[in-house]
Amino acid sequence: MTDSPSRSGVFAASMDKRLEAFSESISFDYRLYRQDVRGSIAHARMLAKQGLITDEEFSQIESTLREIEAEIAEGKMPFRFELEDIHMHIESQLIERLGDIGRKLHTARSRNDQVNTDFRLWIRDALDELDALLVDLQRAFLSRCEKDAGVILPAYTHLQRAQPVLAAHYWLCYVEKLERDRGRVADCRRRVNVCGLGTAACAGTTLPIDREMTANELGFESVAANSIDVSSDRDFVIESAFVLATIAEHLSGWAEEWILWSTVEYNFIKLPHEFCTGSSIMPQKVNPDTLELTRGKSARVIGNLQTLLVLLKGLPLAYNRDLQEDKPPLFDSFDTVKATLELAAPIVSGAELQLDSIGDRLEKGYLDATTLMEHLILKGIPQRTAHHLVGTLVGLAQKDGVSLAELSDEQLKSAHKSLDSSVREVLGVEKAVKAFQSYGSSSPERVQEQVHRWREQLQ
């Protein structure tokens, strides 16, 4: 065979070698070989059931495809640019070994629906793997809730100290974010899990095939209803890229925060040294390189989404060769996010809060100011008035270099006659945390409820 099986007799000359190198995709779509074999076996089984090939022919096709799959897995099959992609490599091997029987496999399908199906199968598997890694990271954060029980941290807004929160409340924040990521993965998977096999090039086929059978065989939830749509559809690729970009954004934000926390200036957390690196010139350095790369690699994942959106934005129906370029960005995004998640879980589990350093400065920043304001509201003072009064008290405390709890009774009364020693019930970070009540707050009782809920959910 001197030419690709896709190059029909209409051509008067072989493909230019430069075009072979320019148009090949085997260098990246080889990753679809297992899905291609699986889809081809399902397709051949359906052809046999419909009488388009014999049972004996199906048996030979199936066993030979499995042999080819094993050889690719073992690295025994050389890849050649002139065969373009993984689909042609597998089919050419089948034809080389079975002759005309191998030539029957492509009956009632095109590379258009074949590629669409293979890519959906690959993404479906990748999404399942991604979900498992997200659960691992959720469990890592959840395990810290017991480890750091009772620890209070300063929560920030605008990178300024805002209010006191339990460390467990902070860890559960990431569990919630990751759960939304899992929800997007599941929702995306539902739209990925639609079978286009059997729609052929763009109009369907005149042959009596059973598309429901192949869809069931491959574990798809439904069958695509429009053959033109199948040839052109890459919504499922864009949506997958968006899901990955959102996960990367969450991981990047977490990495940025912990990079700050690990500095001498913050000294909130000590990162596990097995995930840090040193300096080539400064012997004292312990650099948070894994977290920096987590932050940096998110740019690639976000950029890949942009690449795919631009790739698809102006394509006419139905299939265009541009769609060959959809795989490298998505493969890269999956690889990057997967590697990042695999490192994130052990970093979360192995990090140590610097309790002495946190505790030494916990009363700094007037974290109990909002709680004091709400205490005044309970005494009947309007919110805006209470806000102004507490601001006045903070000003007095700042002037004297003391905390709100250290203000004298006379200073409290100077702000408002109703202010007496009872306000001390909510002053100080520990009392302020205990004063929270609302669902979703950092109240110890509420946080413990959430911890129990997540333990049950992530069993």
Cα–Cα distance for residue pair 459/454, rounded to 1 Å: 8
Q: Taking 70 as the threshold, does the pLDDT of residue 101 lie above it? A: yes
pLDDT tens digits, residue range 158-183? 999 999 999 999 999 999 999 999 99
Residue 201 per-residue DSSP state: T
Give the mean pLDDT of the chain: 95
Q: Taking 70 as the threshold, does the pLDDT of residue 6 lie above it? A: no
Cα–Cα distance for residue pair 251/347, rounded to 1 Å: 12
What is residue 157's three-state secondary structure?
strand
Give the per-residue pLDDT at 459.
Answer: 86
Any idea what the Cα angle at residue 179 is, between residues 178 and 185, rounded to 5°? 90
Give the per-residue pLDDT at 2.
Answer: 38
Average pLDDT over residues 247-272: 97
Cα–Cα distance for residue pair 119/234, rounded to 1 Å: 10
Q: Taking 70 as the threshold, does the pLDDT of residue 5 lie above it? A: no
Cα–Cα distance for residue pair 181/175, rounded to 1 Å: 10
Strand partners of residue 160: 157
Q: Quote the longest CA-to-CA distance of the chain.
A: 101
pLDDT tens digits, residue range 8-45? 678 878 888 899 889 999 999 999 999 999 999 999 99
CA distances to 113, 198, 339 from 333, in Å: 24, 29, 10
Domains of the chain: 17-107 (1.10.275.10), 112-360 (1.20.200.10), 369-457 (1.10.40.30)
Q: Which two tokens stand for residue 420?
A: 């007496």
CA distances to 277, 323, 380, 390, 401 from 22, in Å: 40, 15, 76, 69, 70
Query: Predicted confidence band at 1 (pLDDT cuts at 50, 70, 90)?
Result: very low
Give the per-residue pLDDT at 357.
Answer: 97
Query: Predicted confidence band at 53 (pLDDT cuts at 50, 70, 90)?
Result: very high
Active centre residues (catalytic)? 158, 279
The residue behind tokens 């399908």 is 109
Give the per-residue pLDDT at 138.
Answer: 98
Cα–Cα distance for residue pair 231/236, rounded to 1 Å: 13
Give the per-residue pLDDT at 421.
Answer: 82
Give the per-residue pLDDT at 13.
Answer: 82
Q: State the Cα torsion 367-370-371-375 to the nearest 10°.
A: 150
| pLDDT above 90: percentage of residues in the chain | 91
Give the per-residue pLDDT at 56.
Answer: 98
The residue behind tokens 């949506």 is 239
Query: Predicted confidence band at 3 (pLDDT cuts at 50, 70, 90)?
Result: very low
Give the per-residue pLDDT at 4.
Answer: 56
Give the per-residue pLDDT at 7.
Answer: 64
